[in-house]
Amino acid sequence: MDHNTYKTYLKNQYLHKIRPLQSVNSVISAFQQKIDIVETELSESESIFYKMTIINYVNAHNNNPIKNNLDNLNFVSYAIVRNEKSDHYYNAMKKIISDDERILIIIESQLNEITSNCEELKVDMLIERGINASHITQETPEFFAYLMLFDTYNKN
């Protein structure tokens, strides 16, 4: 399928599923209704993921107006409690984490960024977060990246 055909497919298939942009704190609240999420301190090994996340966020926003406030960012880490509610996500991670490792979520509310070390959870959270209406009307690359999340979700 060529690029333009794929873009048309994405719009036809998923346009009705688009959610308006909401804050990452709202996303955490929504997911706390489905699975047990607790704010947490990170272990030494988990802090590597945290540090890489911070570097990625800072680099991604380096040319944005928020650049002057990069030193004031407040990253918050959460862990998914391993239980029946979270089995779906932990089972998706079985091959890459050990039984004593946790699924993590890291947010930064000023940047409205959210990520996880569980790719499936990350996709679910990004879909839940939604997208700014201006990206939809202008059909920006961000708009198509958001639609591709649905395509990824449906293939899993």
Number of domains the chain contains: 2
Are 52 and 79 members of one domain? yes
Higher pLDDT, 32 or 63: 32
Are 82 and 154 members of one domain? no
* Within-domain flag for 105: yes
Rounded to the nearest 5 percent, the helix, strand and coil shares of the chain are 60, 15, 30
* Within-domain flag for 154: yes
Q: What are phi and psi of 2, to 5 degrees?
A: -75, 170
Are 17 and 27 members of one domain? no
Beta bridge partners of 37: 80
What is the pTM assigned to this prediction?
0.86
Are 30 and 107 members of one domain? yes
Are 29 and 54 members of one domain? yes
Are 39 and 54 members of one domain? yes
Quick check: 121 and 80 in contact, CB under 8 A? yes
Radius of gyration of the chain from its Cα atoms, rounded to whole angstroms: 17
Are 70 and 35 members of one domain? yes
Residue 68 has pLDDT above 60, yes or no: no
Are 30 and 83 members of one domain? yes
* Within-domain flag for 141: yes
Tokens 């959460």 sit on residue: 78
User: Which of 5-14, 41-50, 108-117 has the highest mean predicted lDDT (pLDDT)?
Assistant: 5-14
* Within-domain flag for 122: no
Are 17 and 31 members of one domain? no
Looking at residues 85-95, what average pLDDT do you find? Answer: 92
Are 14 and 31 members of one domain? no
* Within-domain flag for 91: yes
Are 33 and 13 members of one domain? no
Amino acid identity of 91?
N
* Within-domain flag for 53: yes
For CA atoms 106, 24, 33, 121, give the dihedral sign: negative
Domain assignment of residue 33, given as a range: 23-117
Higher pLDDT, 91 or 153: 91
Are 14 and 65 members of one domain? no
Quick check: 79 and 50 in contact, CB under 8 A? no
Quick check: 3 and 9 in contact, CB under 8 A? no
**Cα end-to-end span (Å), the chain:** 20
* Within-domain flag for 103: yes
pLDDT, tens digit, 9 for 90 and up, residues 1-20: 899 999 999 999 999 999 99
Q: What is the pLDDT of residue 15?
A: 95
Beta bridge partners of 78: 39, 105
* Within-domain flag for 124: no
